[in-house]
Structure 1
Amino acid sequence: MADISPRRRREIVDALRRGTVPQRGLDVMAVGLDRFATAIADELATVAEGGANFKAIRGEYGAGKTFFARWLTETAKQQGFATAEVQISETETPLHRLETVYRRITESLATEAIGPSAFRDIIDGWFRVLEQDAIAAGADPRDPSAVATRTDALLEQRLAVVSRAAPAFAAALRGYHSAVRLGDVPTSDGLVAWLGGQPSVAATIRRVAGVRGDIDHFAAFGFLQGLLAVLRDSDYRGLVLVLDEVETLQRVRSDVREKSLNALRQLIDEVDAGRFPGLYVVITGTPAFFDGTQGVQRLPPLAARVGVDFSSDPKWDNPRAPQVRLLGFQHASLVELGQRIRDIYANGSPAVDRIGALITDNYLGGYATAVAGQLGGRVGIAPRVFLRKLVDLLDKVEQFPDFVPDAAGAVQVAADGLNDDERAALGGLDAIQIDV
């Protein structure tokens, strides 16, 4: 792990210490994802050439769905894509409210160079590209009015297709560009917020661009088209959109669930129809969401689009299928992940020799067995707890010269800090709550 920079090392270790998935550096932690790498690379290449794609990731809790999604987005960013990760929830981001989903996309929009939210930077960068193209087309760079005129002409040409589907998006871009050129900060701030789907922008600001109201459910798809056009013209290869925790739809009211499933079906249809060139949509969910009566199966047209037969040996799972499954960690993969984290931690640590002497591969094997054993032997539930406790152990080895780890079999997992699934695994049958 000699190629890990101090910053990436710190980001990875800090996230694991908190029990969360790191935002960066996931390529060095991608244990067991090799079988998906070729198919994902091919699909990203298709999207970069103007295509579109959809992928459903299924797995039980602890199988690594969020890790997989972030690994995919980090891979995409390294290849020149923009990415957005949206957590679906009943109250904050209901899937049937596409205007809210669009707003979350712009809020979480990120690139390799710019973290969330990169939306305004991307818009400003697009106008800089237009101005450079205007100069390359013959506008005199010493004549601002000539550059502005040619830039406006290019803007109209490149927004021609988007204008037919979302004229308000194009109008707001024109108004934003004019406000920036005139140095009108309140207007430019308000219009870029409106373009990003933010509600309650003052009517006086919207009137400058000739737009009215807030973005609604029906306009959201058009605005997403506009965003994709801006990304394409800014030399990004496309947008990878992750809709995480879609299984929460199973817990909402039946009418909301029906509308949300239909919105997902509509999005997939629009992707298949080619309306969103440069878009790669990824959703994550549990097997119960894809196969149960309260999820995808409630809407047969949606089930037909994402359904895959998983009755055969997982060895023959097709990574090119619209839905792929994660089987979770086995003991060997958990130990391998522990080895990688140990090596990342030791890289640059003043206690590198002590870490190597005390936290050996054999020790990690026993430690993984002990943690999983505390969780009822459910290795698939164990990774988050295992890594959190491992980082805590490494912290102690690094900070205290006289600290010697207990035997791996002596590890204890307390209920504090566990989520519901981990707590249930820790408590066994006694932890199962039954409503009477």
Structure 2
Amino acid sequence: MPAQPTGEVPPLDGSLPASAGVGAADRGLSLYVHVPYCRVRCGYCDFNTYTAEDLGPGASRDDYRANLSRELDLSVRTLAEVGAGDREVSTIFFGGGTPTMLDASVLAGMLTDIRARYRLAADVEVTTEANPDTLDPAYIATLVGAGFTRISLGMQSAVPHVLATLDRTHDPEKIPDVARWVKDAGLELSLDLIYGTPGESIDDWRRSLDVALANEVDHISAYSLIVEPGTKMGAMVRRGQLPMPDEDDLADKYEIADAAMTAAGLRWYEVSNWSTSAATRCEHNMAYWRNADWWGFGPGAHSHIGGVRFWNAKHPKAWSDRLLAGDSPGIGREVLSAQTREIERIMLAARIDSELRLDTLGPGSELAIRNFVNQGLLDAEAVAQGWFQPTLQGRLMADYMVRILTDYSV
């Protein structure tokens, strides 16, 4: 797992600088809950996760809800102190790990605990990530009854040998059943895919896309595999046991994905995300990309409130010990400079369809925009209307364009 970022040590009570509350009434508020438990640790994954049975008292699944309640109380108090409380929560996202490794009643109870402390919007989006082998109709019905609105299902691939390389344990044949259960229950469904796994052919990738789209879902996320140092897969690549993903292969698979999604009625709205309409986008992720306020609960979770970024102790035992002692689980923070916030605004908005207005860029950027149009990286009609809208090739070159644009804007 990656090391935590470096930053200043926050106060033991978790209090925020007064600047975090400035303008809070004009910003959205989202909540993220990190549930770190998994059945197995996948070889490619560098998220803060632990096999569920390896954690003892204080850090186990049995203790998680009570610990989360303590952090919820802390968050309400901390936000109120800087005048950033008493806002409607627009989105809640349970991620991991595998949140559905918890009993459905526990996951539902955690949402009840949130509702008791926060004012939720009438149309609040409540998502949980899930693995296909952790769901059945009864589990899903409990989530619906608690107020969940959306499930993000970790499909990753429909091809057994690709799943085996990723150390995924679910049966791909179960995907259609789970998709039907979720949709029959009235929940929105997103399928998460990964492309570029060592040994995955073009035909394998097409097969995964065909299976995903056959379920007539309204949202699909497709991410290129990144081999992270410190993971099992990273070690295998380093030893030559697996090949490093090829950049040309990744680009080809992205183009294949976009063509397949478009043909099925899904349009890209962020570089790695497609939906049938604006109404079926993942609003929680949009909050991240728009640099809204969010509080991250759980081991290793990160938060962002009014230009202050802070993060929790990574290990579940360290997280729970601090909460049991009445202290904040936060171990580091960074007050972002105006320059950093501007760089991040451009970097994130440039990945979203028509989110970045050209008149918010720095003086001199006009030449760069014209060059991007001439290179086929930006849509000329959108640019004429004042919007940054990458073409298909531009999405593949988004980082290149951002590096140039930020030179003009900071």
TM-score tier by shorter-chain length is under 0.3
More helix by share: 1
More strand by share: 2
Superposition TM-score, scaled by structure 1 size: 0.26
Superposition TM-score, scaled by structure 2 size: 0.27
